[in-house]
A = this chain, B = another copy of it.
Amino acid sequence: MSFNSFGRIFTFTTWGESHGPALGVTVDGCPPGVALDESLIQPFLDRRRPGQSRMTTQRQEPDQVRILSGVFQGRTTGTPIQLMIENTDQRSRDYGDIAQAFRPGHADIAYHLKYGIRDYRGGGRSSARETAARVAAGAVARAVLAELAPGLSILGYMVQMGELTLDRSRFDAAEIERNDFFLPDAAAVAEWAEYLSRIRKEQDSIGAAVEVLIRGCPPGLGAPVYAKLDTDLAAAMMSINAVKGVEVGEGMAAAALRGTDNADEIRMGVEGPQFLSNHAGGILGGISTGQDIVVRFAVKPTSSILTPRRTIDAAGREIDLVTKGRHDPCVGIRAVPVAEAMAACVILDQLLLDRAQTGGRRGVIGPGSGGEPV
């Protein structure tokens, strides 16, 4: 698999830099005959798009996506789908200061050491603008999932920003799209907005935690032991810029649990097995069980800040660096649609992978069953 590709059957390969002429993604392995046009992709890009509120970077990018291949008369043909987004609002002159300097906590120095050359403008390849391409790929995955797994939904939302955490007792999915934080709690929005404004005024940035909830996922997805569903989800989330931790179900808190508590007991419901709890987060042995899949991840605070930090330049000189340019005070916010997109791609890829190996047949649970697939 190439360095900039993700997936096994449903694969995507992203390309492009923050301040180059364009960026995009090639989606390969898409099933044929699926209804697709730009109008099914653009809304997802609009959700991730910068410059929409005071909460994100003020860079103004329309992020208009164009389908250049793989779709004919409104349906996918099974050939590679090229999705291109032109960059329009580069202000590369803002970046002269960091051409030869390394922002603390940023990929600058790592790219310099590895490659000896880097497109420093706007972070180049390490910029979160790359995630626009992921969102486009995710929109294609969703269009396919709508046909192959009609009951499935993927919902991302913020659960933490710095000192603030979501009050889960007030969770309301309908609110997520109604505020600038993808926050499922209308009552908390004002407090979050005020908190982030203060951070920004203090020329600082702040970390965040995001959760993705996948409902209606068919059981049987995930291929043990090195293509487990949770392994793929962990890789998918950790590959997003600035992510430092990933959890499934109980996550890190599992370290404190006892086996008697952690066991998700099972009952027999009308439509099949029913779990009485979901410590597992919907995945056992790397395979989906049909329960809700719950993934969480933490995003570190933006490293590009206006407060001066001590660092060095390529010549080895010690300097104090202030990062100009337009940056999100909390990159975690715009990570929400990105995480949803990655989840959609992982689920679809595993669904196709499972279809390859098992034909999608499922083991039977019920009277007289020895467990044979139908």
A194 CB-CB contact with B under 8 Å = no
A273 CB-CB contact with B under 8 Å = yes
Min CB distance A123 to B, Å, is 9
User: In the bound complex, do residue A267 and residue B310 qualify as a contact, i.e. CB atoms below 8 Å apart?
Assistant: yes
A185 CB-CB contact with B under 8 Å = no
Min CB distance A154 to B, Å, is 19
- Nearest B residue to A370, CB-CB: B314
A188 CB-CB contact with B under 8 Å = no
**Of the candidates B22, B103, B267, B363, which one forms a contact with A117 in the assembled complex, judged by CB atoms under 8 Å apart?**
B363
**1/0 per position for A222-252, CB-CB distance to B under 8 A?**
1111111011111101110100111111111
- Top 6 A-B pairs ranked by shortest CB distance? A107-B285, A205-B259, A116-B373, A110-B287, A116-B363, A356-B356
User: In the bound complex, do residue A266 and residue B110 qualify as a contact, i.e. CB atoms below 8 Å apart?
Assistant: no
A215 CB-CB contact with B under 8 Å = no
Tell me, in angstroms, the Cα distance from A341 to B155 when the chains sit together. Answer: 35
Tell me, in angstroms, the Cα distance from A286 to B130 when the chains sit together. Answer: 14
User: In the bound complex, do residue A268 and residue B371 qualify as a contact, i.e. CB atoms below 8 Å apart?
Assistant: no
User: In the bound complex, do residue B312 and residue A250 qualify as a contact, i.e. CB atoms below 8 Å apart?
Assistant: no
A and B contact pairs by CB, cutoff 8 A, 13 listed? A9-B357, A13-B80, A31-B357, A72-B124, A77-B124, A78-B114, A105-B263, A105-B284, A233-B238, A244-B248, A253-B298, A265-B310, A314-B363
- Nearest B residue to A104, CB-CB: B263
A20 CB-CB contact with B under 8 Å = yes
Min CB distance A82 to B, Å, is 4
Q: Which residues of B contact A259 (CB under 8 A)?
A: 105, 204-206, 301-303, 305, 307
Tell me, in angstroms, the Cα distance from A164 to B125 when the chains sit together. Answer: 42
A340 CB-CB contact with B under 8 Å = no
A264 CB-CB contact with B under 8 Å = yes
- Nearest B residue to A371, CB-CB: B314
Known A115-B33, A316-B268; judge A239-B220 contact (CB<8 A).
no
Known A3-B225, A238-B231, A267-B318; judge A15-B70 contact (CB<8 A).
yes
A354 CB-CB contact with B under 8 Å = yes
Q: Which residues of B contact A116 (CB under 8 A)?
A: 32-33, 358, 361-364, 371-373
**1/0 per position for A1-32, CB-CB distance to B under 8 A?**
11111111101011111001111101011111
Interface centre among A66, A251, A267 (most CB of B within 10 A): A251
Tell me, in angstroms, the Cα distance from A207 to B261 when the chains sit together. Answer: 11
User: In the bound complex, do residue A2 and residue B5 qualify as a contact, i.e. CB atoms below 8 Å apart?
Assistant: yes
Q: Which residues of B contact A207 (CB under 8 A)?
A: 254-258, 262
